[in-house]
Amino acid sequence: MRRGTELHPRIIYDTAELPAAIHQTLAPYLAAQTTHRLIMIPAQHYRELQEGPWWRALLLELRITPVRTLAFQDDRILIVEGAGGEYEPDLAVIVIPAANLVAIQLATVLLYSYVELWWAVADRIETIRIEFNSVGADVIERELRRLRSAEQPQREMMPLTELAPVDPVAAHEHKQKREALPLKFRNFIRTSLLPGETIHAIIYEPAIRQPGVRLNPFLSPNRAIVLTDQNLIMIKDARPGKKGHSLSNVYRYDRFFVPRRYLHNVKVSIQSDITYVDFLLGTSRAQQTESIPLLPPRVAELRRALADWPVEDALRV
């Protein structure tokens, strides 16, 4: 039986369209702030792998995600898991203040998408991954962009007198590096920027191959690290297959956004002769690490870029 639109995320224009239990649970929160968008994501059924040969998915058990309702308000996101069915536990609302969002990951592979949210709560980082049909990716991303834009510090907070002067040579080098990127990464970067956001540095690392490994030779996918005046943005596709490519490598589009104020520290470590960069994200009390492998030349580029971030020679894509 062919799947229809019943699995697609659905925009709710009137709260009367919500199941009674969800409506009752959300009502006090919806009354407190303006709700810009209300989206209901039906339960999704998954067995596929995100990476690796397709036949491995046949060995996995069917995984079913809960019904999720998302309310994007002035300065927060509300999430209700479940539909209030007879065998479901009592519904509760997850409240995520936009100011507490430490990181947002948006990933798409053909018709499969997910958004992963990291937010600070007292002395810990909470995370949630919401999976959905890619039909709803644009509307969810638009709301996240609105919240991200609202939370960016004003440029007046960084006096120009304290920034490095414009260096035409450095600006030209940035332009040359941007034009040397694969076309899809140039497009990915362009669509990842907020209105008015400018680029300080781009570090691009092609997929890293592990010496002497034949079965799964690639350690990491193609990746771009972008430092802007407002954010750290990491963009990647998927690890190539044994022959250097795969369907997920061609079609995967994965972005990871971190407001600059939440990049707490950056460290370099070596594990099994592989160099890793550890980005320590969060607040002084709540922190979580995102680690990526990078070859030594790219580590050196990143060190130089971080040494004077931000500078005034930023370049628009």
Residue carrying the six token digits 């039986």: 1
| CATH of the domain spanning 155-307 | 2.30.29
**Separation in Å, CA 242 to CA 86, 215, 294:** 48, 7, 20
pLDDT digits (tens, 9 = 90+) for 156-214: 333 323 333 445 555 545 666 666 788 889 889 999 999 889 898 999 999 888 776 66
Q: What are the tokens at 49?
A: 């792998």
Instruction: Give the integer Cα–Cα distance in Å for 16 and 13.
Output: 9
Dmax (CA) for the chain in angstroms is: 66
| DSSP secondary structure letters along 21-43 | HHHHHHHHHHTTS-EEEEEEE--
- Cα–Cα distance for residue pair 258/240, rounded to 1 Å: 26
Write out the residue limits of the CATH 2.30.29.30 domain(s) in the chain.
5-150
Residues 5-150, CATH architecture? Roll (2.30)
Measure the CA–CA gap between 266 and 302, rounded to whole angstroms: 10
pLDDT in tens, 44-92: 887 655 555 555 555 566 788 899 999 999 999 999 998 876 666 679 8
Strand pairing category for 208-209 and 218-220: antiparallel
- In angstroms, the CA 204 to CA 207 distance is 10
* Residue-level pLDDT at 154: 47
- For residues 197 and 174, what is the distance between their CA atoms, to the nearest angstrom? 15
Nearest alpha carbon to residue 9 among 139, 128, 141: 139
